[in-house]
Amino acid sequence: MPTIEAGKVAAIWYTLTDEDGTVLDTNRKGGKPLPFLVGSGNIIVGLEDELLGKQKDDQLTVTVAPEKAYGQPDPERFQAVPKDSLPPEVPMEVGTQLTATAQQGGQAQIVRIHEITEDEVVVDFNHPLAGKPLTFEVTVVGVRDATEEEVAHGHPHGPGGHKH
């Protein structure tokens, strides 16, 4: 039976919880198994490390430290912006999520209001799960050899290949 190792495509059912046991994400309810190309950075390194050597139908629960997940919050990823630069419909509350896009265009990013002062809002550009240990309950659904195309593209493809 094939085992999870570099160059393989594995598929998993998972439930992700935080330190308090709150479910943050799962694909078990109405979803599809999550496929990933082992060794290509498709999933966080700490989870992938724990899955190495596992086979179809293996189950595990693993807690991944922040350093092997989304890292620790980076103080340089906090930015103060004038309050009046935010759209008026934005709730001025700590924790409010916003979508930010670089002035030169680029990919949109979810950011959060971290602090509010009289004239400014401090926005946190860190990943929302930075600094948090993450617990995964995982069942391995399958393991197979990756195709040359999947290895070249760095991610798994569905039946019939993939058009880029």
Domains along the sequence of the chain with CATH:
8-70+130-153 (3.10.50.40), 75-124 (2.40.10.330)
Mean pLDDT of 40-58: 96
The mean predicted confidence, pLDDT, of the chain is 91
* Residue among 134, 115, 133 at smallest CA distance from 124: 115
CA distance 6 to 10: 10
Q: For 54-84, what is each residue's pLDDT tens digit?
A: 999 999 999 999 999 999 999 999 999 999 8
Alpha helix ranges (H) inside the chain: 45-51, 148-153
Q: How confident is the model at residue 34 (pLDDT cuts 50, 70, 90)?
A: very high
Mean pLDDT of 142-162: 85
Q: How confident is the model at residue 159 (pLDDT cuts 50, 70, 90)?
A: low
∠ CA 141-138-156, rounded to 5°: 50
CA distance 79 to 122: 5
Question: What element of type H or E holds 144?
Answer: strand 134-145
The helix/strand/coil state of 81 is strand
Q: For 101-110, what is each residue's pLDDT tens digit?
A: 766 666 788 8
C-alpha torsion sign, points 104, 87, 127, 60: negative
CA-to-CA separations, 91 to 60, 83, 84, 99, in angstroms, rounded: 40, 11, 12, 13
φ and ψ at residue 68, rounded to 5 degrees: -110, 15
Query: Which pTM was predicted?
Result: 0.82
Strand-pair partners of 135: 17, 63
Amino acid code (one letter) for 119: D
